[in-house]
């Protein structure tokens, strides 16, 4: 029942969803997005993320459709200048939250549930379990790449961050495109200047 609640009622659309079903995705924004960002940031306050991050508890965005959900909060220190000038080490970008009915795809295989970092959000008598994915950037061979971490210190996804000017109202934005049955590509837009793609898969019921 909680996955149904997430799509509409939990904190007034607490999360956002991926279009894994025929239903069209809907955007979470405005006050609903602010409420979601705060609730989700609070939920991971005591978690040890693979990359030390400072998620912005005041902003974020997502999509929702059906039983699965995705919401992203950017790192509060992320700026276009910091990303463009980044040379060494790992630069935190933000945190991606997905309902536990979703898993990230690594090397064309879904990441096992035991390998995900998870958090629970409780509102009144309803509790939602979420997979928590940390987003970061690094420079490899003088090219920026997107790093996606599950539970471990090693990223489960490394994807090139290509320069792509596309205006957005969000620090980190995304769109979802169905690529196969139960699988969708999440195209991540960072600061309206860079794009990278990762895949999410809906678990079999």
**What pLDDT is recorded for position 182?**
87
pLDDT category of residue 107 using cuts at 50, 70 and 90: very high
Higher pLDDT, 103 or 65: 103
State pLDDT tens for residues 53-76.
Answer: 999 999 999 987 766 789 999 999
Q: Which residue spans within the chain are E strands per DSSP?
A: 26-28, 61-65, 68-74, 91-99, 102-106, 109-110, 117-123, 126-140, 143-149, 157-160, 162-163, 172-180, 183-190, 194-202
Average pLDDT over residues 91-96: 97
Helix (H) or strand (E) holding 80: helix 80-84
Rounded to whole angstroms, how far apart are CA atoms 177 and 19? 8
Each residue of 170-197: pLDDT tens digit? Answer: 999 999 888 888 899 999 999 999 999 9
50 versus 165: the higher-pLDDT residue is 50
Inform me whether the pLDDT recorded for 114 exceeds 70. yes
Task: Tell me the domain boundaries of the chain.
Answer: 2-202
pLDDT of residue 12: 35
pLDDT tens track for 116-175:
999 988 766 667 789 999 999 999 999 999 999 999 999 999 999 999 988 899 999 999
Alpha-carbon span 101 to 94, nearest angstrom:
21
Among the listed ranges 23-27, 59-63, 107-111, which one has the minimum average pLDDT value?
23-27
Tokens 């979420």 appear where? 130
* Confidence category of residue 15, pLDDT binned at 50, 70, 90: very low
Q: Please state the pTM of the whole predicted model.
A: 0.87
For residue 52, pLDDT beyond 90: yes
CB within 8 Å of 1: residues ≥ 6 apart: none
pLDDT at 32: 84
């Amino acid at each position: 029942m909680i996955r149904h609640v997430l799509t509409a009622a939990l904190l007034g659309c607490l999360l956002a969803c991926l279009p894994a079903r025929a239903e069209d995705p809907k955007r979470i924004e405005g006050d609903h997005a602010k409420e979601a960002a705060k609730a989700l940031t609070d939920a991971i306050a005591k978690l040890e993320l693979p990359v030390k991050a400072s998620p912005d508890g005041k902003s974020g965005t997502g999509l929702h459709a059906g039983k699965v959900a995705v919401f992203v909060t950017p790192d509060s220190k992320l700026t276009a200048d910091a990303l463009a000038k980044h040379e060494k080490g790992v630069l935190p970008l933000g945190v991606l939250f997905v309902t536990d009915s979703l898993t990230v795809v690594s090397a064309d295989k879904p990441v096992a549930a035991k390998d995900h970092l998870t958090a629970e959000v409780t509102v009144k008598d309803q509790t939602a379990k979420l997979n928590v994915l940390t987003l970061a950037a690094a420079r490899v061979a003088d090219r920026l790449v997107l790093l996606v971490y599950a539970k471990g210190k090693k990223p489960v996804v490394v994807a090139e961050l290509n320069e792509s000017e596309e205006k957005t109202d969000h620090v980190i934005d995304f769109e979802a495109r169905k690529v196969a049955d139960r699988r969708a590509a999440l195209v991540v837009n960072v600061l309206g200047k860079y794009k990278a793609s990762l895949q999410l898969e809906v678990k079999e019921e």
